[in-house]
A and B are shown apart, each in its own frame.
Chain A
Amino acid sequence: MITEVGTKSLTLVQAVNDALRIMLKEREDVIVLGEDVGKNGGVFRATDGLLEEFGEQRVIDTPLSEAGFTGAAIGMALGGFRPVVEIQFLGFIYPAYEQIMTHAARMRSRTRGHFAVPLVIRAPYGAGVRAPEIHSDSTEALFTHMPGIKVVCPASPYDAKGMLIAAIEDPDPVLFLEPMRSYRAFREDVPEGKYAIEIGKGKKLREGDDVTVIAWGAMVPVAMKAAEEAAKKGIDADVIDLRTLYPLDKDMIAESVQKTGRAVIVQEAHATGGLANDILAVINDTSFFYQHAPVERVTGFDVPVPFFAYEDDYLPTPSRVLHAMEKVMRF
């Protein structure tokens, strides 16, 4: 296959690697740190080859301590660096929660802008790869609720690269969630050079007039599959990949819902306190009088993310999404 000049075909995890390499090359203040990010190239190989290329002062294997190295990265950020920290799995981020909540996300506000923490925290998240327990959490809402940090979640290689570059250039802390299930699921042509995708902007993946389907991360392919199935039944869906979870792309959501009058939100995480509820609030605030049907949410359940023998029952599937789409159409 001949690729276009100036692009290369990458998986999502390769796109992450590409973004890190470009930023390490371009900016001396960028450093990468975490468990196994150096010699091992990360457990998912997201940092593969970076130690060899940039040396151990830029790509740093740390002690196994999420709070310790996240806290240290805050200190490094105060000291003029732009650290990109890797949390091996989102389910292991909780020891670092205090450092993020109480310090990274609050430093600018506490000091009236005197100190800031331009820190990127990368974390693979989500179920669906038959991982051992605790490796499959999707607790983005713990962070979208947290004031002072942006939360992004690309679904494709192209977006992963452009959004990671934007996250590293952002003057404030950014949690960068990587759908583990999509790491190597497909390839996409990605520009070779540097490009940034604005944080806070969603992406319309499909145009349709009947129902809006909103998804992010690993749920984007699920939503797309459901939309294809729906099309066969004569339901024409508008599909939004949110890409940024905080701040939400309010305008894109409102515009689509005002066009279709119906919405289905697909969320991998537990239902209660989830991001879908905030999206519902956006729809309520912007588009109440345009609604032809109550908004449907297709989500995980209010149970701990189960052992993998049960994960197919836990995760939203195209057929569950399709069912919700049919329900809002019938209302």
Chain B
Amino acid sequence: MELNFPIVQVLNEDGTVVQPEYRERITKPLTMTMYRHLIRTRTFDRKCVSLQRQGRIGTYVPYEGQEACQVGSALALNDGDWMFPTYRDHGAMMTFGRPLTTTLLYWKGRTEGCVPPEGKKIVPPSVPIATQLPQAAGAACAEKWKGTNNAVLVYFGDGATSEGDFHEGLNFASVFDAPVVFFNQNNQYAISVPITRQMKTKTIAQKALAYDIPGIRIDGNDVFAVYFHTAEALERARNGGGPTLIEAVTWRYGAHTTSDDPSRYRDQEESKKRRETTDPIKRVERLMQREGWWDEEWAKQVQAEVDAEIEQAVTEMERYPKADATDMFDFVFAQPTWTIAEQKEAYLQWKRGMAT
């Protein structure tokens, strides 16, 4: 089965384009855009880990190593499409247009972190595993039945394929030919449990056979493979071709969250080695060098711009008005029920009394 689902690359580790049909489409401007987003997402992720260490945000979920999965897939979306992310997909969300400040507010424990920019259909990250898959199938049905041209992109990890909702979501979507792309980031570990303990199958892509939908296994560290194959799957979905399962094989360099120590369950030498060999950013640099597009000054400028943008967002997050207790009461229902209204009133009165 592994042979039927080989890992597809467009750009190999050396930065060589190995699929000639994409040669023409890998232009200098597109490559520069990819590079900028990759640097932006990585720098942001590192900044967040550091903010967590300093106690300036709460527990944080890093994605370093998976940037190509998130950037490449998010750039394949149209503005009107839906994104159903998990808690590790803020790289995808920020690439799709969620402001950095919003992302920081989420990790600061604020509900403002779940409000997408106007017009962007970014659903709050799913924190339980795989529950977003049936929802994405339903949102896709809604778009289809409304007769729009919008599609849905839903993310999930390798561990999610063991959940019932994975099956229920893919099954539902396939029965109704829903315009949804199921984008699996197989980083090979669900916290500490390796993929060999999640499933007997050698690939996740082959599970598509059970739903009679296209399944493809791609190199998740190859931003071009991710971008082109996600775009093709989205296009097929828009044109009535139904759902696709994409398995993007990748690796998270660091911990599951900032509360986790990966050295307890795996050899972190592997991560060190991968930083040199399969890194998603390094291979884009190699491509640019190979093509003569690499400009050290430009790269420095990209880094400086990204740093400034992130600093600005951190400042905005830290200057945000203090969380207001009334917020937790006011948005449960369109109109608060009497129990909530009474509890709010009583609590605020008590709090005012305590303050004086």
Contacts and interface: CB of A to CB of B under 8 A. Distances in A.
Contacts of B331: 108-109, 111-113
B131 interface: yes
Interface string B135-155: 111111111011000001000
Interface stretch (B4-12, B62-70, B168-176, B264-272): B168-176
B337 A246 contact: yes
A65 B172 contact: yes
Among B116, B124, B135, B136, which residue has the most Cβ atoms of chain A within 10 A? B135
B320 interface: no
Contacts of B142: 75-76, 78-81
A300 B99 CA distance: 53
B138 A98 contact: no
Interface bin, chain A: 35 or more
A108 B128 CA distance: 17
B334 A99 contact: no
Contacts of B172: 62-63, 65, 68-69, 72
B51 interface: no
A107 B124 CA distance: 8
B12 to A, nearest CB: 37
Interface stretch (B107-115, B222-230, B251-259): B107-115
Nearest to B127: A102
Where chain B touches its partner, the secondary structure class is helix
Contacts of B168: 63, 65, 67-68, 71
B30 to A, nearest CB: 31
Interface string A97-120: 011001100011111111110000
A81 B142 CA distance: 7
A70 B127 CA distance: 17
B134 A75 contact: yes
A225 interface: no
Interface in A298-321: none
B135 A74 contact: yes
B165 A71 contact: yes
Interface in A114-137: 114-116
Contacts of B137: 68, 71-72, 75
A114 B114 contact: yes
B327 A112 contact: yes
A98 B140 CA distance: 21
Interface string A36-78: 0000000000000000000001000011010111111111111
Among B128, B164, B169, B172, which residue has the most Cβ atoms of chain A within 10 A? B172
Interface residues of B, number: 42
Contacts, number: 137
Contact of B115 (A78, A81, A99, A114): A114
A57 B111 contact: no
B196 interface: no
A72 B141 contact: yes
B337 A200 contact: yes
A63 B136 contact: no
Nearest to A72: B138
Contact of B138 (A74, A107, A115): A74
B39 interface: no
Contact of B164 (A57, A67, A80): A67
Interface in A238-266: 246-247, 250
A273 interface: no
A147 interface: yes
Contact of B135 (A103, A113, A114, A250): A103
A219 to B, nearest CB: 23
Contact of B339 (A73, A103, A247): A247
Nearest to B139: A75
Given A69-B172, A79-B146, A246-B337, A98 B131 contact: yes
B333 interface: yes
A99 B126 CA distance: 11
Contacts of B94: none
Interface string B317-356: 0000000000110011110011100000000000000000
A75 B140 CA distance: 8
Contact of A112 (B112, B133, B140, B334): B112
A37 to B, nearest CB: 15
Contacts of A70: 134
A148 B116 CA distance: 21
B163 to A, nearest CB: 9
Contacts of A110: 111, 114, 124
B135 to A, nearest CB: 4
A95 interface: yes
A76 B144 CA distance: 10
B143 A67 contact: no
A68 B123 contact: no
A71 B133 contact: yes
Among A76, A99, A108, A172, which residue has the most Cβ atoms of chain B within 10 A? A76
A71 B135 contact: yes
A294 interface: no
Nearest to A199: B337
Considering the complex of A and B, which 10 residue pairs feature the smallest CB-CB distances, nearest first? A79-B142, A75-B138, A71-B134, A68-B168, A72-B138, A75-B139, A247-B337, A75-B135, A171-B334, A65-B168
27 contacts: A65-B172, A67-B165, A68-B165, A71-B133, A71-B168, A72-B137, A72-B141, A72-B169, A74-B134, A75-B140, A76-B138, A76-B142, A79-B139, A79-B142, A79-B143, A81-B142, A98-B131, A103-B131, A103-B135, A109-B328, A110-B111, A110-B114, A112-B111, A112-B115, A112-B331, A247-B337, A247-B339
Given A68-B168, A103-B131, 19 more contacts: A57-B145, A67-B131, A67-B168, A68-B165, A69-B134, A70-B134, A71-B134, A75-B140, A76-B141, A95-B164, A99-B131, A99-B135, A110-B114, A111-B331, A112-B115, A115-B124, A148-B332, A150-B333, A247-B337
